[in-house]
Amino acid sequence: MIPAVFIKVSFSIFSFAIALSDIRTGMVPRVAFVFAFPVFFALCLLSEDSRPPEVLAAGALPGLFVFLVAYFVSGKKLGLADVWYAALIGLVLGLWLWYAAVFCACIAGIIYMLAFKKRKIPFIPLMAIGSVFANFFHFFF
């Protein structure tokens, strides 16, 4: 059994790495998600508070669906990496913490837009902040 804290810390480190990549280069390599999905899926299955695969999928699919719709509605201004990362957040955190993470990301995005007066913002760093906050909140409270 893998401790849940190991998965949460690993996911936070992964989130920090892709957020940094998005800030510096404006993109996240797809290979990051190609490896992240099976690794985090396996870790979640083997964790001490393991969830069945259908529950893991139930967290990932809404994240994928909602952000895929937003991707097409926005005229593809939202990146595909944002879509994949939203699904990964749902996979690792679960559906309810996914909502909390996306809510925090949206609030952070509004604050960022008001503070820097920019119309185009990298959303993965904001989702990373939201997911780490939701992770932290769930772990300690």
pLDDT in tens, 44-82: 888 887 778 888 888 899 989 999 999 999 888 888 999
pLDDT digits (tens, 9 = 90+) for 110-130: 998 888 887 778 899 999 999
Residue 92 contacts residue 44 (beta carbons within 8 Å): yes
What pLDDT is stored for residue 38 in this prediction? Answer: 94
Helices 123-140 & 80-93 angle (0-180, nearest 10): 10
Cα–Cα dist 37/96, whole Å: 19
Domain count within the chain: 1
Residues in Cβ contact with 27 at an 8 Å cutoff, skipping those fewer than 6 apart: 21, 79, 81
**pLDDT digit string, tens, across residues 19-33:** 999 999 989 999 999
Which residues have a Cβ under 8 Å from the Cβ of 82 and sit 6 or more positions away? 67, 71, 123, 124, 127
Which residue range(s) make up the domain with 75? 4-140
Beta bridge partner(s), residue 47: 2
What is the separation, in whole angstroms, between the first and last Cα of the chain? Answer: 23
